């Protein structure tokens, strides 16, 4: 069932809440196999599965990025119906009004994508809080690809005393390792081929860290390599603690490598957990 209206949504949710657990998957649409892996996982349990499709204008700091974001609603609805999603929520136009209250998550939103995407995570946190209050899901399923977003959502859940459990599922990749993303379709074939260097670099850095520890020069080496391959900008290539994105200390554990780079004006992101214990840090990595 497709729901576009808040009053109807509330009624349905009130009714379902007594009968079944609610599992929620927020999306921007232009669905691909990454999104589907979340839906398939949700459907395995006997939950009531809610998927939202909403290109949240608040999380696009550039109008051009918002306008060029791929919009494929008809196809998305077909996919979700085929996958027997119980409720598809398409928020009404006034979901984002001009006098909207804004939620800002401190610290975590000041790192990585928060540095050059002003207001992006405020946009994410605000809309997620609205969704969670309305849908009251027992679970929310998120993809590991958007790791910083997961931390933001966890913080909102904690700070606003919500009881939704966060389930994180692995990143689904193309054959060459590039993380599936709605933005991938905006790249020319040529650029698309080059883009696999992001995941290759993450894997190599991870191996090097496991073997020899972190050497800041090597991070610079990979940044230059990515630029030489055809990316116009590396927004960041950083190794941080995955608990809170803080800088690694002397004996790092639970670290993750984060990357963002632009190709033909398209921003790609990815990250990889460093699986085995890593060596002593020799400097600040960025
Ligand atoms: P988006 O529509 O890009 O906002 O993504 C909606 C949800 O799907 C988020 O939780 C994303 O992390 C997740 N997602 C996007 N791409 C992938 C992927 N390649 N693998 C797994 N999950 C993904």
pTM exceeding the 0.75 threshold for the entire prediction: yes
Q: Which of 89, 143, 196 to mutate to test the pocket of ligand 1 (most atoms within 8 A of CB)?
A: 143
Q: Provide the 3-class DSSP secondary structure of residue 221.
A: helix
- pLDDT score for 180: 98
- What's the pLDDT band for 279 if we cut at 50, 70, 90? very low
Confidence of residue 17 (pLDDT cuts 50, 70, 90): confident
| Confidence class for position 252, pLDDT limits 50, 70, 90 | low
User: Does 25 reside within a domain?
Assistant: yes
pLDDT tens digits, residue range 110-162?
A: 999 999 999 999 999 999 999 999 999 999 999 999 999 999 999 999 999 99
Is 181 a residue whose pLDDT tops 80? yes
- Its domain, for residue 186, covers 182-275
96 CA distance to ligand 1 middle (Å): 22
Question: In testing the pocket of ligand 1, which one of 25, 28, 34, 58 has its CB within 8 Å of the most ligand atoms?
Answer: 34
Please report the pLDDT score of residue 90 as a whole number: 98
The pLDDT, as a whole number, for residue 278 is 46
CA distance 245 to 240: 5
Sheet-wide strand order for 233-241: 233-241, 255-263, 266-273
Report yes or no: 26 and 131 within 8 Å, Cβ to Cβ: yes
Ligand 1 centroid distance, CA of 118 (Å): 21
118 is a domain residue: yes
Nearest partner of 240 among 101, 115, 112, judged by Cα: 112
Q: Is there a catalytic annotation at residue 35?
A: yes
Q: Is the domain of 151 the same as that of 22?
A: yes
CB half-sphere exposure, 274, CA atoms < 13 A: 29
Which residue, 137, 169, 201, sits at the end of a domain?
Answer: 169
Task: State how many domains the chain has.
Answer: 2
Residue 260 shares a structural domain with residue 227: yes
């Amino acid at each position: 069932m497709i729901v576009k209206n808040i009053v109807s949504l509330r009624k349905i949710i009130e009714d379902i809440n007594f009968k079944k657990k609610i599992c929620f998957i927020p999306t921007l649409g232009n669905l691909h196999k990454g999104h589907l892996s979340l839906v398939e996982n949700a459907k395995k349990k006997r939950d009531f599965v809610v998927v939202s499709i909403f290109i949240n204008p608040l999380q696009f700091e550039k109008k051009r990025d918002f306008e060029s974001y791929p919009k494929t609603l008809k196809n998305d609805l077909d996919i979700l119906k085929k996958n027997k999603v119980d409720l598809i929520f398409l928020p009404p136009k006034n979901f984002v009004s001009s006098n909207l209250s804004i939620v800002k998550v401190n610290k975590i939103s000041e790192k990585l994508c928060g540095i050059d995407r002003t207001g992006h995570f405020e946009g994410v946190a605000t809309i997620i809080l609205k969704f969670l209050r309305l849908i009251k899901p027992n679970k929310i399923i998120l993809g590991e690809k958007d790791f910083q977003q997961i931390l933001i959502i966890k913080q909102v859940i904690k700070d606003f005393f919500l009881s939704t459990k966060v389930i994180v599922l692995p990143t689904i990749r193309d054959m060459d390792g590039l993380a599936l993303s709605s933005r991938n379709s905006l790249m020319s074939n040529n650029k698309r081929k080059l883009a696999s260097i992001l995941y290759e670099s993450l894997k190599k850095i991870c191996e090097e860290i496991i073997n020899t520890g972190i050497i800041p020069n090597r991070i610079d080496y990979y940044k230059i390599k990515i630029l030489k391959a055809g990316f116009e900008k590396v927004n960041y290539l950083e190794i941080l603690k995955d608990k809170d994105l803080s800088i690694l200390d002397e004996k790092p554990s639970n670290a993750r490598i984060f990357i963002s780079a632009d190709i033909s004006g398209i921003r790609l992101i990815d990250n990889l957990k460093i699986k085995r214990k890593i060596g002593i840090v020799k400097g600040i990595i960025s």
